[in-house]
Structure formats: structure tokens, C-alpha cells
Structure 1
């Protein structure tokens, strides 16, 4: 029987096979854009056919790949994973478009790595087995390591790629040990069987800590955040887009998919610890962003603050907070990606990201300045943008549980406004640095197309979020109810 999700997952592999037979560089670029956009269109069919009134996994497929050891290749999507799948398939063609004129060496290898990255991410967001999740959760590191190390922009790119690889791999080893122990204890790693399994509270806490350490590095939270600014600064523009847009969401996705439902009592036990860590991370990252002189580092530290704000919503353990976190994850995928694309435009023209070199761009690049201002407003959650709805729900959710945490989390909007507006003021206003900005031309038609698409999605999510929230609601309601029941009866 035809399974649309399984078909979608393996489409990037078919694209890789076709790329092997293509020789002309322009043909490779055009094919990659067209084929990745086709994958995105097919992924929209999942959304169209998705039954939003059901909280069950849909488009499910299961195959017993190790019969004697009770291990399965199992996939399916619900209201949590649906939009991560779509976000992945959407940002890959954006990455190809952004790289069209920039990447000039090893073009075929570059496109193949992005298709492999898409394949790994699609399985990671749809798998319903802990072992398969771990394998592909870690496999994502391989293409990203190569993309930064080969096509990175500066001499520290090798160091940055090793930062990414070692930090995230080291943290995930604890999760691997926990998964092995779960398999030995229960005889299975299948999510749907573990969902209602009553783990001993002592082991719940150990498992939760092991999973949390792995996901905290990916988010990232303090003190595991050092790899992210390094990776962003050295990555090519498309690498920063996919890193901010999708890879940072692996940590928060893992928490909501596995840690919250499988270890509910441990989640409640550790919630105060997580919230304190999130508040520290938000304030520290926001203040650090104000002091940065590299354009990419500012957005990188802003991403740390936003991702920790998302965790505040998740660990409010309320329907409003978790739905707000999911919506904010999607919003951050668009807004952060757009900001990195804006920084990439400047770097492509002037080959520097040093903040002091830029000023007065509103005079020489007026269209660029308008787009950049829109994303700055979206980044500080101005009403009408996608970020506003997400942060509003997060604060509404955490306010029900702890007003002090809600107040401290709200400081992210004040500090976010400080570093965002300061960045825009220094880049776009003031006198032109004529000794450095000696080439003046605004954005190209290709760049204009990319940003018009991103602006439309940001406004659409901000004005009509119901179309997204309606698909999430039943799944989140089931998750919160499951946690309440499990905590009560355990």
C-alpha cells in the first residue's frame, strides 16, 4: 500500500541518484532548486490530508527490521511533527536559492550533502523508534560538519565544525546509554509501546537527565552554547539558515516528543531547574548579543535567547505554553533564517561581518533596509508577525504556573528590542563608510523573491495562526492529559 510519508522521506535519495549523472554546474543548481521545491509541494499534501481532529499518529508505517531483537523501523506524524517536516522541506530550496551564485566550488557535492541532510531530518522528525531516532539524530552532524568545514567563510571553519561535532556528539552519548538501558529493561524501543509504560521514578530521573543533556546541547542552553556562535560565524549562509531554521529545533523537538511524555514525573521534578536555566540563558544571551561586533554572532546569540524562551513554554506544561512554543519554533525557523540571509547579502558584497564597517545602508540599499527592518520587528515580536503569537501564548502559559518566571521571561522582549534595534540603527542609519562601502547595489531579483516569500509567511502566521494551531491542538491536549494522568497514578 502506498504511504505518502515514506515516499516523501526517500525522495531526497532519488534526487541524489539523479545528481550523480549530471555534469553541468548550472544544470545541477537548477535541478536542485526544482527538485527540492517539488519535495516541498509533496510535503504540503501531508498537511492537506492531515486529520486535525485526531491526536493519533497518521501516515504510519512499521517494518520489523531486526526480527529476533524486536526492533522496528516505524514512522508516523502527529500535530507536533507535521510542521517540522514542512519547515524542513521549505528551507532546503531556500538554501539552494541563497547559494545559487555564492557557491562556486564542488557544487555537486554541496547539493548532495543538503539532500542527505534533508533525508536525515525527515526521518528524525517522523520516526517512532528510539534507536532509529538516535541514529538519524546523530547522522545530521555528518553533512553539517562537511558543509561548515568545506564551504565555510573564514579560516576558523575547521575549528567551528569540530566544535559542532564534538559538543553535540558527546552530549548524545548519554542518551544512547539510556536508550540501551530502556531496551534491556522493557524489551523494546518502540515509542507507541513505551508511551504508556510505567518506568520506576528513580530510572525516570536518570533517563530524563540523559535525554536532557543531549537535547540541551542541541537547543543550546547554558553552559553548552559555545559551539553555536562559532558554527554560525564560520558556516556559509545556507548552512546558517538550516542550522538556525531546523537543527536547533532538534533539541526542543526531542524534549516534547520523548522527555515529556515518556518521563512525566521526572519532567515535573526537574521543571524548576530547567526554568531557572532558561531564565539565565535568556538574559545572558541577550546581554551578550548587545556586546557583539560580528553581525552573525548577534543573531546567533539572539537564537540562543529565543530557543530558551521556547523551552520556558514547553516546561510550563500547559496547553497554551506548549502550543506557543511550537508556533514560536516555526516562527524562529523563518525569522532567524531571514536574518541570516540578510547578513549573507552584506557578506557577499563586502566580505566582512564586522559591525563597525557598516552604516548608512538606508541610503544605498533602501529595499534591503526595508526587508531588514521587517525582520528586526519580527525578531522582537511586534504584533502582526508570527513571533508575537508564539511569545504571547508562551507567556500566557507560564503565567498560569509561575508569575515570577513569566516576568523574568518577559525581559527577553525588552533586551531583544535593545540588541535588535541597536543592530539596525548601526547598520542602516548614520553616515556611509565610504572607505569600505565603495560598491553600491541593492538586492537582486533572486534575493527579492526569497525575502518576499519569507515576509509573506511571517505575516500569514502572525495574522492567521489558527490554521497552524488547529492541527497541533488535539496532539498537545492528549500530551498534557497523558502527563497529568501519569503523574497522578504513578
Structure 2
């Protein structure tokens, strides 16, 4: 539905204004850097709530809050934005995480009374990235999507390369090269898709490119061009190797946004572009992609178990979790696709929380190595408790949000590909190992002498992790409102791909009550 107020444009413009305001702060006002950044981040969250209230949840499969303006008429490029239920929940997840990242970075790059220019620049990049994130989830023009898809690399590159660890430049360049390689291949696909589409005005609009009668061979090549870019971004085995280095070297807040939000653009693109634009090729490629997804689940989990650095450990858990998301998308079940859509949100909450908590631990200890910790449960009980709860969410404990989405993915996949679902279930067992073993090594046992005086979470840090735990519990016990937003788009996607709904025994269709 369209509205008189441009909600999505406002959600894009507001953080850009915040970034400009931070960069332009006069010297005498730079002591207010943190307050200005947090103020814009909270204002963005309030604005997103307004967009949610303006969204008609009864028609969640349709793009709403839409705007379409000619941008480059000679090429048929439009500034076209709008969100369905999936896009909306991902926008909401993003704007929830940004103020928490700002709070987490409160003491970075300077004292509380005299923040350095580094903190100001870092927080400005966070707000700029937020604007790109909202726009990429809302873009309804393929060319606009591609431009933002590539533009997001700029703030992330500097957030890693300028503010990360000792190997930050290597990690930033590796991240950039992988992403640019995938993006360039996708650009070829975008151009070829346009040349074989209706062209003319609004020739790049997704609704005008959906349902094209493409040559089967061409469609397969176009699918592969888009899918490769999204698989790198996701990240998915075997094009995932940039992620552990980037997560290890980046500040905790950057890793939170990179893995918790930015990487969802990959799976979001698979769901909203690959499947509807190339339905026949999607069905053709699905068996291989399902195998790669299962490999990602097991491979990521096994490597997570063997990690010594906590940031790399969380990064590899994400390779495993993204495997579940991709599996659900290409299982072509309404239940699995809805589960994958919900999984994108829940993974952002749990993995974002783990990265932030590891950041708090590293700031106190000056190390991310698991071997440098031990016995902290007695010293920092609140930090230990929050780590355990968020870790249990990551391993899909019933009652926490990730369980709902992972259960839906596995059940929905089982209706179409029982063998893949059964093998993927071993990823749940491996998740319990890497989460609980990490907790045991860091928080249980005798207290190391040098850790006796470690401070527990302060009020600011509790405000960072508290909302995440609250959302995990809410979505764990009351997932209905979120699922109501992602189910209709899942049903529409199945129709676009041309897959018949699964019919359960006794004639009960998938997703309906028997």
C-alpha cells in the first residue's frame, strides 16, 4: 500500500543526516558525539515503529509503503522502494541493533569526557551503514539494489580497516575483494537481465522483470551470476573464508552489523530476487544448493568447535546458521521459507548478542583467546548469565527465538527432502557442543588470578544485552506476530517458483491445521 508519508525514504535519510551531523560537529561540541549518535539511532527506531504501524499486516505478501520516482530515465532506472513482511522485519531488526552497537562503542576510541575524532568517525560510519541497510532491504528496482549492495562495502571497509585489530588492513582488503568479485559478476547479470527485459521506463523494477520468458540457458547463467554474489555475502561454503578474518579483526559492533545484519542481504537476495526472477533455474540449481547448505551447516559447526579465538568461533557458527537459512529457502516449502525468513531475524539477535558480549570480554581482558579466560562465572555472574542465555538461543533451545525458526526450517525441509533435513539436524547437536564447551572454558572452573578483579556488566552494557534477551524470549514464546509477516511472502514465493504446496497425509496442506 502507498501512504502519504514517505516512511522508507525518511528511514534512509535520517541516519544520513545523523552521519553528516557527526562529521560536521564543531570542536566544542564533540563531547556530545555519543549522545548525538544515540539520539539519531533511537529516532530511527521510533520512525521504524511508525512504519510498522502504517503497514497492513493482513496483506504482508504485497509491497507496501511504496514510492517510485524516475532516477535515470534514459536507462529505465527508478528510485523505487517498498517492503513486504520479510523486508519489514529485517528493517526492524536492523534499526534495533544499531542503537545497541552505539551503546556498546560508548567507551571505544577515547575517554568518556574527551572522545577522539576516531569515535566520531566510527559512529558516523555506523549511521551511514544503517541508511544503506534500510535502502537495500526496501529496494524494488534491481539497479538500485545493486548500487546499494556495492555501496555498503565502503563504510564496512573503513570500519574494519581503520578501527580493527592488528591485521585489520588484511581483513578489510580480503572482505572487499571477495565482495567486489561477487558484485562484478552480479553486475553482468543485471545488465543481461535488463537487455532481455521490457526495457523502457521502469525497466529495472522487480515486478516488471518477474515472469519473463527467458531462454533456459540464459536464465541459468543469470541465476548463477546473482546467486554467486549472494552466496559470498551470505556467507556460504565454499566462498565464506573472508568472514572469520573480518570478524576476528573488526570491532565487536562492526562484526554485529556485518554478520547480524549485512550478511542477511545475501539470503534476502536469494529469496526476493533469485527465486522470483529465475524460477526455472532456481528449481534446476536447488539440489546442488541444498547439498552445499548442508555442508555449510556441518562444516561451520565443526570448525567453530576447534576455534581458539572467540570472534572466529562466532563467525564460524554463522556459516553454520546461514546454511540452515539457505536450506530452508531452496527446500521450496512454505514452512521452510517462512522459517528461513524468521531465522534471519533471530540469527541477527543471537549472533549480534554473542559478538557484543565477546567484545565486552575482550575489552576487559585485552584478549579474545579462549585460553586467556576461566572461572568467570564467580567473578562476573551477570555477564556469564547473559552469555549463557544468548548462547542457548544460538543452539536453538526451546523457549528462545532461534528454536522456532530452526524447527520450521527442518520440518519444512523434511516434507520435501527428508535426507537433507535429517543430516542437517546433526548441526543442532554440534551447536550444543561449541556453545556449551565455550561457556565451560570461559566461565567455569577455577578463577584465574589475573581475572579476580574483572568488573561485571555495568548499567550501559546491561542496556545493550537486555533488549536482545527480551526479544529472544518474546519471539520464543509468542512468535505468531512475526510469523504472520513472513508467511504470506513465503506462499507468494512458492507460487512464483511454480512449486505446488506440499499436501500432508489425510489431505491437510502444509501450513494449515489438520
Q: How would you bin the TM-score normalised by the shorter chain?
A: over 0.9
Partner of residue 356, structure 1:
371
2:171 to 146, 151, 160: 160
Q: 1:333 to 1:102 in 2, by over 3 A?
A: same
CA contact 1:22–1:28 (8 Å) conserved in 2: no
Report the alpha carbon displacement of residue 196 of structure 1 after superposing the two structures with TM.
Answer: 2.4
Partner of residue 20, structure 2:
17
Return the alpha-carbon distance in structure 2 between the equivalents of residues 14 and 486 of structure 1. Answer: 47
1:421 to 423, 430, 436: 436
2:420 to 401, 405, 411: 405
Secondary structure of the 1:222 match is coil
Report the alpha carbon displacement of residue 486 of structure 1 after superposing the two structures with TM.
Answer: 11
Return the alpha-carbon distance in structure 2 between the equivalents of residues 77 and 486 of structure 1. Answer: 25
Partner of residue 457, structure 2:
443
Return the alpha-carbon distance in structure 1 between the equivalents of residues 379 and 500 of structure 2. Answer: 60
CA contact 2:14–2:40 (8 Å) conserved in 1: no
Partner of residue 109, structure 1:
121
2:183 to 162, 167, 172: 172
- The alignment's TM-score, normalised by the length of structure 2, stands at 0.92
Return the alpha-carbon distance in structure 2 between the equivalents of residues 205 and 244 of structure 1. Answer: 29
Return the alpha-carbon distance in structure 1 between the equivalents of residues 194 and 355 of structure 2. Answer: 41
CA deviations on 1:103-149 (whole Å, 9 max, x unpaired) are 32422211211111011111111011111111110111110000111
Identify unmatched segments of 5+ residues in structure 1.
none
CA deviations on 1:415-463 (whole Å, 9 max, x unpaired) are 10111110001111111221x4253211111011111111100100111
CA contact 1:117–1:144 (8 Å) conserved in 2: yes
CA contact 1:285–1:301 (8 Å) conserved in 2: yes
1:384 and 2:399 aligned:
yes
1:50 and 2:55 aligned:
yes
Partner of residue 129, structure 1:
141
CA contact 2:159–2:250 (8 Å) conserved in 1: yes
Matched ranges for 1:256-271 at <5 A: 256-271=271-286
Return the alpha-carbon distance in structure 2 between the equivalents of residues 447 and 280 of structure 1. Answer: 36
CA contact 2:69–2:80 (8 Å) conserved in 1: yes
Secondary structure of the 1:63 match is strand
Return the alpha-carbon distance in structure 2 between the equivalents of residues 71 and 346 of structure 1. Answer: 47
Secondary structure of the 1:81 match is helix
- The alignment's TM-score, normalised by the length of structure 1, stands at 0.97
Secondary structure of the 2:86 match is coil
Q: Give the aligned CA root-mean-square deviation in angstroms.
A: 1.4
1:309 and 2:318 aligned:
no
Partner of residue 32, structure 1:
37
1:206 and 2:221 aligned:
yes
1:475 and 2:489 aligned:
yes
Report the alpha carbon displacement of residue 485 of structure 1 after superposing the two structures with TM.
Answer: 6.9
CA deviations on 1:310-367 (whole Å, 9 max, x unpaired) are 1111111111001100111100100001111111111111110111111100111111
Return the alpha-carbon distance in structure 2 between the equivalents of residues 486 and 118 of structure 1. Answer: 38
2:255 to 213, 222, 240: 240
Secondary structure of the 1:443 match is coil
185-194 vs 397-406, greater mean Cα deviation: 185-194
Return the alpha-carbon distance in structure 1 between the equivalents of residues 82 and 346 of structure 2. Answer: 23
Return the alpha-carbon distance in structure 1 between the equivalents of residues 395 and 270 of structure 2. Answer: 25
Return the alpha-carbon distance in structure 1 between the equivalents of residues 205 and 412 of structure 2. Answer: 31
CA contact 1:398–1:406 (8 Å) conserved in 2: yes
Partner of residue 508, structure 2:
none
Secondary structure of the 1:362 match is coil
Report the alpha carbon displacement of residue 473 of structure 1 after superposing the two structures with TM.
Answer: 2.0
Report the alpha carbon displacement of residue 68 of structure 1 after superposing the two structures with TM.
Answer: 2.5
Return the alpha-carbon distance in structure 2 between the equivalents of residues 385 and 375 of structure 1. Answer: 9
CA deviations on 1:23-54 (whole Å, 9 max, x unpaired) are 33331111111111110111011211211222
Return the alpha-carbon distance in structure 1 between the equivalents of residues 230 and 286 of structure 2. Answer: 15
2:480 to 466, 472, 488: 466
Q: How many residues align?
A: 485
Secondary structure of the 1:142 match is helix
CA contact 1:52–1:472 (8 Å) conserved in 2: no
Return the alpha-carbon distance in structure 2 between the equivalents of residues 210 and 486 of structure 1. Answer: 26
Report the alpha carbon displacement of residue 71 of structure 1 after superposing the two structures with TM.
Answer: 1.7
CA deviations on 1:384-403 (whole Å, 9 max, x unpaired) are 10000001100111000011
CA deviations on 1:135-185 (whole Å, 9 max, x unpaired) are 110111110000111111x21011000111001111121110010111122
CA deviations on 1:366-392 (whole Å, 9 max, x unpaired) are 111111110111111010100000011
Identify unmatched segments of 5+ residues in structure 2.
111-115, 502-514
1:118 and 2:123 aligned:
no
Report the alpha carbon displacement of residue 208 of structure 1 after superposing the two structures with TM.
Answer: 0.6
Secondary structure of the 2:79 match is strand
1:432 and 2:438 aligned:
no
53-62 vs 205-214, greater mean Cα deviation: 53-62
1:59 to 61, 65, 68: 65
Secondary structure of the 2:78 match is strand
Return the alpha-carbon distance in structure 1 between the equivalents of residues 499 and 284 of structure 2. Answer: 15
